[in-house]
């Protein structure tokens, strides 16, 4: 039940001989080295805001293809953790590796996004004036794997990909609608689709079902279950019914006061007295 016990996938430390080569590989968009099965590795990450520790020696590791749920009370540090992973916030101490050899604490937000970490914020950010299809097309143009050309034309392969994503995000048949006319939930799906088009190696979703109707929440759980194993995903959520739907046999990590309070299956964390005390209630 303790994150500190799962340290077996430690990547090489910075200063390792091929760190510069790894950094270049990421900069050029040619991918992250996950040969030992870890896509993300955080060790002893501490973030201080004027002396207040939003993260306090946080440990986390995510395997390739894993769908990990992160829960915990307001202010536990969940969003701050995503800020560290995406380079928005620099930790005061600790190690953050993407794959085997990419030191996230030394990269810019831009380079981290380019390296293949896609993040969805709580509020949907789609291009409201554009149609659903155009939004996905724009995302395709921003795909780091696609060679930029002066006059971008979709290949048939790219059209197929957009089509597949449209089906996945339940917007097939709505491709000519203006994104601004979609429901809140549909906008969230569209944004997830835009991230998927960019083929992230790791997808971070912060409260994806906040503000959704029950039906939209249920469909989002289905969507994430369809992505299981195909992508490495970290989901932060407060909606426990939703978390139970997507946790399945996977692991749930509970954060509290900037550290891991508990870690295990949904059933294990739900039965944990400390988790009940600080978060789930009796």
Ligand X SMILES: Nc1ncnc2c1ncn2[C@@H]1O[C@H](COP(=O)(O)OP(=O)(O)OP(=O)(O)O)[C@@H](O)[C@H]1O
CB 148 within 8 A of CB 179: no
Shortest Cβ 41–Mg ion spacing (Å): 22
Using CB atoms within 10 Å of the CB of residue 226, give its burial: 0 to 12 exposed, 13 to 18 middle, 19+ buried.
exposed
Residue 79 touching Mg ion (CB under 5 A): yes
Q: Which of 34, 56, 59, 79 binds ligand X (CB under 6 A)?
A: 79
Q: Which of 31, 75, 211, 250 binds ligand X (CB under 6 A)?
A: 75
CB 61 within 8 A of CB 40: yes
Residue (49 or 121) nearer to ligand X, CB = 49
Q: Which stretch binds ligand X (CB under 6 A): 72-80, 212-220, 226-234, 269-277?
A: 72-80
Compute the CA torsion angle 33, 237, 180, 170 (nearest 10 deg).
70
How far, CA to CA in Å, does 172 sit from each of 9, 77, 186, 230, 231?
40, 36, 11, 21, 21
Residue 161 contact partner, candidates Mg ion, ligand X, none, CB within 5 to 8 A by sort of partner: none
Residue (136 or 236) nearer to Mg ion, CB = 236
Q: Which stretch binds ligand X (CB under 6 A): 76-84, 157-165, 166-174, 212-220?
A: 76-84
Shortest Cβ 78–ligand X spacing (Å): 3
Residue 69 touching ligand X (CB under 6 A): no
Residue 77 touching ligand X (CB under 6 A): yes
Q: Which stretch binds Mg ion (CB under 5 A): 54-62, 71-79, 256-264, 265-273?
A: 71-79
Note the residue count of the chain.
282
| DSSP helix/strand/coil, 240 | helix
Please list, in sequence order, all residues whose beta carbon lies within 8 angstroms of the beta carbon of residue 267, skipping any fewer than 6 positions away: none
Residue 158 contact partner, candidates Mg ion, ligand X, none, CB within 5 to 8 A by sort of partner: none
Residue 89 touching Mg ion (CB under 5 A): no
CB 204 within 8 A of CB 151: no
Q: Which stretch binds Mg ion (CB under 5 A): 74-82, 85-93, 220-228, 264-272?
A: 74-82
Residue 80 touching ligand X (CB under 6 A): yes
Shortest Cβ 263–ligand X spacing (Å): 16
Locus of tokens 């201080």: 48
Residue 86 touching Mg ion (CB under 5 A): no
Q: By rule CB under 6 A, what string of x and - marks binding of each residue 41-60 to ligand X?
A: --------x----x------
Rounded CA gap, 147 and 155, in Å? 12
How many angstroms from the chain centroid is the CA of residue 54?
19
Which phi and psi angles does 223 have, rounded to 5°? -60, -50
For Mg ion, the binding residues (CB under 5 A) are: 78-79
For ligand X, the binding residues (CB under 6 A) are: 49, 54, 72, 74-80
């Amino acid at each position: 039940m303790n994150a500190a016990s799962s340290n077996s996938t430690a990547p090489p430390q910075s200063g390792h001989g091929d760190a510069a080569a790894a950094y270049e590989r990421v900069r050029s968009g040619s991918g992250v080295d996950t040969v030992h099965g870890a896509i993300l590795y955080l060790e002893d990450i501490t973030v201080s805001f004027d002396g207040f520790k939003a993260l306090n020696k946080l440990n986390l590791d995510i395997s390739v293809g894993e769908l990990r749920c992160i829960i915990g009370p307001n202010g536990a540090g969940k969003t701050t953790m995503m800020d560290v992973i995406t380079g928005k916030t620099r930790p005061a101490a600790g190690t953050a590796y993407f794959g085997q050899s990419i030191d996230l604490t030394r990269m810019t937000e831009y380079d981290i996004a380019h390296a293949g970490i896609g993040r969805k914020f709580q509020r949907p950010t789609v291009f409201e004036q554009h149609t659903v299809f155009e939004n996905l097309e724009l995302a395709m143009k921003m795909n780091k794997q696609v060679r930029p050309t002066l006059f971008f034309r979709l290949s048939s392969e790219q059209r197929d990909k957009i089509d597949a994503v449209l089906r996945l995000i339940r917007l097939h048949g709505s491709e000519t609608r203006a994104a601004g006319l979609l429901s809140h939930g549909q906008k969230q799906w569209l944004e997830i689709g835009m991230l998927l088009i960019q083929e992230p190696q790791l997808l971070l979703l912060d409260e994806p079902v906040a503000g959704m109707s029950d039906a939209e929440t249920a469909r989002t759980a289905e969507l994430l279950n369809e992505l299981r194993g195909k992508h490495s995903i970290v989901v932060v959520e407060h909606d426990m019914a939703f978390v139970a739907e997507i946790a399945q046999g996977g692991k749930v990590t509970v954060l509290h006061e900037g550290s891991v309070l508990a870690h295990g299956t949904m059933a294990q964390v739900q039965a944990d007295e400390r988790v009940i005390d600080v978060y789930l209630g009796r």
